[in-house]
Amino acid sequence: MSDATIDPDRPFVLVTGAAGLVGAAATVALRAAGYEVIATDRLVPEGGEALDFTDVGAVETFASRKLWAIVHCGAISGPADAKANPQLIAPVNVLGTFNLLELARKCKVEKFVYCSSTSVYGNIDTHGPVGEELPLKPQSLYGASKASAEALVLGYCQEFGFDAVCLRISTVYGPDRKHYCAIRRLVDDAIQGNVGVLEHGLHDFRQYVHVSDAASAIVLALNATETSRFTYNVTGGEGDTVGGIVSLIATYIPGFTASIGAQRDPGEDIHPLFSIAAAKRDLGYCPKVSLAHGIRDLIETVKANNLQGVQKNAKDY
């Protein structure tokens, strides 16, 4: 199904950030689930439309469309990107969300699904698993922007009467991730036969979620007719240290070693294990891709892509 074939008289789901890792996967998953989807991004996604949601005029052009729901995946996508672009974090992550909520109000949407982040919690000094009731104390611009946007979504849905769900998603990984990812960095080093090198974080506990599981959570949130709460943690259901991730990679690429600094990564929050019990209970969410299997599949995909690149270069030559 492509956006070009959408019947304008049928209700549809507007997806933002559809050229990004989570947005692209969510678009595929939503279409597979039978939803009419308009995929949008600043860079036009395949089969989609251009939308800079920081531009009020551009957002308002969608007010004439028959809008049933909005799935907001678009954002400056992580603490590192936010730190590099502090002047953009509020216009994109906060005011951009406000623009989309205004669109939701004008179109009288039934559902708004917001992709938030576990970064809203900041550093946590308690043992896990921890649930969504934990007070929000973001330690980064990115986390603060996500917490601010959550508050806007909650205020809008309560005042204007549409259903809203905020998914607090942990670090997402997958073969199409374009931004920095420790797993991908280490996998690339392992495949190239290099020693994996990271400046710090050897003992840091990380909770990743495979992009396919994140997309599944979005579909389930959209499907849910009743929810007992507004926010839900979404993780892969497990965690490991960075050193443990190195060991996992080495099970698939024997002989791989890494040199990783023992100091804590200052760009990462300190988190214990998050509870996903609420998402399981209310949404039916159950992660299907274990970290071990996700890393194995990532290695296989990267190897296949590298081989295709070599073959293409050979043909071009």
Separation in Å, CA 177 to CA 137, 138, 194, 214, 301: 27, 24, 21, 13, 12
Q: What mean pLDDT is predicted for residues 3-22?
A: 77
Confidence (pLDDT) at 85: 77
Per residue in 159-178, pLDDT tens? 999 999 999 999 999 998 88
Instruction: State the chain's mean pLDDT as an integer.
Output: 92
Residue 59 clears pLDDT 80, i.e. is over it:
yes
Confidence (pLDDT) at 8: 52
C-alpha to C-alpha distance for 85 and 274, rounded to whole angstroms: 28
Sign of the four-CA dihedral 82, 83, 88, 90: positive
Given a contact cutoff of 8 angstroms between Cβ atoms, the answer to whether 37 and 63 are in contact is no
Residue 251 clears pLDDT 80, i.e. is over it:
yes
Establish if 34 belongs to a structural domain. yes
C-alpha to C-alpha distance for 115 and 272, rounded to whole angstroms: 21
Q: Say whether 114 sits in a helix, a strand or coil.
A: strand
**Which CATH number belongs to the domain containing residue 142 in this structure?**
3.40.50.720
Establish if 275 belongs to a structural domain. yes
Confidence of residue 198 (pLDDT cuts 50, 70, 90): very high
Confidence of residue 97 (pLDDT cuts 50, 70, 90): very high
Establish if 146 belongs to a structural domain. yes
Residue 311 clears pLDDT 50, i.e. is over it:
no
Establish if 259 belongs to a structural domain. no
Q: How many domains does the chain have?
A: 1
Establish if 43 belongs to a structural domain. yes
Confidence (pLDDT) at 7: 53
Domain that includes residue 28, residue range: 3-176+209-236+271-289
Per residue in 272-291, pLDDT tens? 999 999 999 999 999 999 99
Given a contact cutoff of 8 angstroms between Cβ atoms, the answer to whether 30 and 71 are in contact is yes
Confidence (pLDDT) at 307: 65
User: Parallel, antiparallel, or unpaired: how do β-strands 49-50 and 37-41 relate?
Assistant: parallel
Nearest in space to 23 (alpha carbons), one of 10, 36, 41: 41
Six-digit token string for 187: 């996998």
Please tell me what DSSP assigns to residue 130. B
Confidence of residue 79 (pLDDT cuts 50, 70, 90): low
Separation in Å, CA 9 to CA 12, 68, 306: 9, 11, 44
Six-digit token string for 143: 């986390």
Q: Say whether 105 sits in a helix, a strand or coil.
A: helix
Establish if 266 belongs to a structural domain. no
Establish if 299 belongs to a structural domain. no
Percent with pLDDT over 90 in the chain = 83
Nearest in space to 189 (alpha carbons), one of 302, 50, 97, 311: 302
Establish if 154 belongs to a structural domain. yes
Sign of the four-CA dihedral 18, 21, 22, 26: positive
Given a contact cutoff of 8 angstroms between Cβ atoms, the answer to whether 115 and 169 are in contact is yes
